[in-house]
Amino acid sequence: MEVTFRCTAAVVARNKGHRAAAAVFGSTVEFSNSQPFSLSSLTRPPPNYPGHVSLTRIEKAALAIGSGLMSLRDPRRADLIAAFAEATATPYFIYRLRDAMLASPTGRRILRDRPRVTSTSLDLPHLRSLPARTVGRTYVAWLDREGVSPDTRAAVRYVDDAECAYVLQRYRECHDFYHALTGLPIVREGEVALKAFEFANTLLPMTGMSVFAAATLKPSERRRFAGVYLPWALRNGLKAGEVINVYWEEQLERDVDELRAELGVEPPPDLREIRRREREERRRRKEEGAASVGAE
């Protein structure tokens, strides 16, 4: 049925300008909806893929603002970061990434096969048996060292296009491969550096916003990030090939340095080693200070 909205506004004018406004609003104004309206139009459309939740533009904007602000307060909230990524990926950025995959023969195969990255699909025990410098061994060694699992990535829910939803899911599930490729640990400083690399390579807004988390780092970490890791991330992210087009499942037995060279990614300075040396230096200074006090 067609619905006509009717509103009457009585305006009391005190001067000439207000009398002009009263002339407009003092009469009855009608707004006629040109499209048929029914209660069924208030319900959400059916999902485009399992788990999909369709949101209006206003709902997506609210989700983006709310999850973005809250994740800045607590960067450890992976659920908020995931929601922000999905709410801001459309209408442009995820399509750009999808088109980059369509422009690559390997990317097109990934879109056709739609592989998933899980502890079952990768056979982690087998990866641990591979030679030390292979992609698979480097990846699983990084997982073991950091104590993480590939099964913890949330499913994409708020991207309407099913193919684009898979692209974002693929990016999300391959995040740990990017860690292994670069050698960056999952400490906050390493995560911010990797997000800067991902932003330069993918242009996803969530990765760019995550770089602002550098403001929460300790002063020494901020200086190191600004002087070392941010320049590295931007330089390598821009010059590297589209990492979304790496068919990681087919690269597991390949030499990791060979893949880095092919992609144009130079490993950054070892962040864990730098942090270890700094801890030892602080401990040495503390012991020397205590010894000098005791000598006095």
Which residues make up each annotated binding site? 175-176, 179, 191
My answer on whether omega of the bond before 91 falls inside 30° of 0, hence cis, is yes
Which residues are CB-neighbours of 67 under 8 A, at least 6 positions away? Answer: 80, 81, 83, 84, 87
Annotated binding site for Zn(2+): 175-176, 179, 191
Q: Which CA distances in Å does 212 have to 12, 76, 188, 198, 224?
A: 50, 14, 12, 14, 15
Helix axes 93-102, 162-173, angle to 10 degrees: 80
User: Closest Cα partner for 171 from 97, 77, 76?
Assistant: 97
For Cα atoms 280, 284, 286, give the angle at the middle one, nearest 5 degrees: 115
Which residues are CB-neighbours of 100 under 8 A, at least 6 positions away? Answer: 107, 242, 244, 245
Helix axes 78-89, 162-173, angle to 10 degrees: 140
